[in-house]
Structure 1
Amino acid sequence: MSASDLEGTLRDALEDERKAEATYAAVIEKFGEVRPFINIIDAERRHSAAIERQMTRLGFAIPANQWHGRAGAPATLAEACSMAIEAEIDNIALYDRLLPGIADDTVRQVLQNLQDASRDNHLPAFRRCLEREHDGGGTGGARDGWGNRGRGRRGGCRS
């Protein structure tokens, strides 16, 4: 893989992580500090930072974030969970496409770690989120143990 190909690979990965962060930020803006969005948005920020560190190490320019403030949230929290499931599946598939062509061992390990986090942590958390929303009526807030809907840190989905 040439340096320009590796730079393009890292840009593609960074773009996808930034898109997820912006989307999850829009969900939090609309529904409050609901889990797992409040946890996973921090992970997406760490993912972006990990890619940026590799770009810096390799002497590549870090592109401006084109996603900041550009994503929207669906009408319900259940739809947000479904959307996040699809985003994580797409992210895993992106890394499936990118990883085989990477010769740089460090970059390959970093991207493999990001894919593992999406597959092993984020995707299951969003699937649990969707299950809870369906179990709770699916109208935007999860029910607590007493049948009340919540929207704060304790409401919504939990991972």
Structure 2
Amino acid sequence: MKSKLAKGIIFTVLTLVFALTISLSSVSAGSVYSGIDRQKEFAFSEDIEYSLEEMLNFAIQDEYLAKSEYEAIINEFGEVRPFINIVEAEQQHINLLLPLFEKYGIEVPEDNSAEKVVIPESITSAIATGIEAEKVNIAMYELFLSQDNLDQDVRDVFEYLLQASENHLSAFSKDRNQYYGQDMMNQFRNKINNMFQKEGNDSSRGSRQQAHGGNCTN
């Protein structure tokens, strides 16, 4: 039994290393994104001229969503970079938008973004999620800034948030390969634990069956 288990572990190690190498190296924002299609969620279009209310609502909802995603990732995987730095910035972005709602008499939308978050399967996938989030955030602010009907204070905030998102994208892109090894070890550890648990359950079940058979009488 021990020999069989050892062979199983060796086979699992080799298989897992190969599978993880392939899967992690091919991780992309499109394949592992948290399940939210931001372009569909916010329905951006270059053919539409957005009102100030629409732009502010889109902007703060996207900042809500980014903050909730990054908080959920930190809760799941720990204080990994660059999430621990960027999540604080997302709250600052929200704080920059709020005075515009007050100044222009626009109601602040409720933050229900946490309901839309799905935890990625690995840190590498989480970083791909961050890359996708920032790319869409950048595209949104570029689209809004292309409009001629922006008051200067609104334009100033959008330009600041655009630059911040570009910095975040750079940070995610820099760290995207950093956690391959940790992801492989985490998944390997889980696989081995599952194997030992299964082996223990099988042994326990076999012992109970033997005990039950020994108590049978003709």
1:116 paired residue number:
163
* Alpha-carbon separation, structure 2, partners of 1:110 and 1:116: 10
Distance of aligned partners of 1:87 and 1:140 in 2 relative to their CA distance in 1, 3 Å threshold = farther
Q: Out of 51, 66, 74, which is 1:20 matched to?
A: 66
* Alpha-carbon separation, structure 2, partners of 1:99 and 1:25: 28
- 2:134 is aligned with 1:88: yes
Distance of aligned partners of 1:103 and 1:27 in 2 relative to their CA distance in 1, 3 Å threshold = same
Q: Which segments of 5 or more consecutive residues in structure 2 lack a partner in the other structure?
A: 1-49, 187-218
Cα deviation for residue 83 of structure 1 reads 1.1
Structure 2 length-normalised TM: 0.59
Show CA shifts across 1:79-114 (max 9, x none): 000111111011101111111224210001101100
Cα deviation for residue 137 of structure 1 reads 5.6
- 2:184 is aligned with 1:139: yes
Higher helix share: 2
- Greater relative CO (CA pairs within 8 A, separation 6+): 1
RMSD between aligned alpha carbons? Answer: 1.7
2:125 paired residue number:
79
Structure 1 length-normalised TM: 0.79
* Alpha-carbon separation, structure 2, partners of 1:44 and 1:126: 14
Cα deviation for residue 35 of structure 1 reads 1.4
Distance of aligned partners of 1:62 and 1:6 in 2 relative to their CA distance in 1, 3 Å threshold = same
Q: Which segments of 5 or more consecutive residues in structure 1 lack a partner in the other structure?
A: 142-159
* Alpha-carbon separation, structure 2, partners of 1:140 and 1:26: 21
Cα deviation for residue 63 of structure 1 reads 1.0
Aligned length, in residue pairs: 136
- Aligned residues: percent identity? 36
Distance of aligned partners of 1:140 and 1:76 in 2 relative to their CA distance in 1, 3 Å threshold = farther
2:154 paired residue number:
107
* Alpha-carbon separation, structure 2, partners of 1:139 and 1:78: 10
* Alpha-carbon separation, structure 1, partners of 2:133 and 2:99: 23
* Alpha-carbon separation, structure 2, partners of 1:49 and 1:70: 21
Distance of aligned partners of 1:82 and 1:11 in 2 relative to their CA distance in 1, 3 Å threshold = same
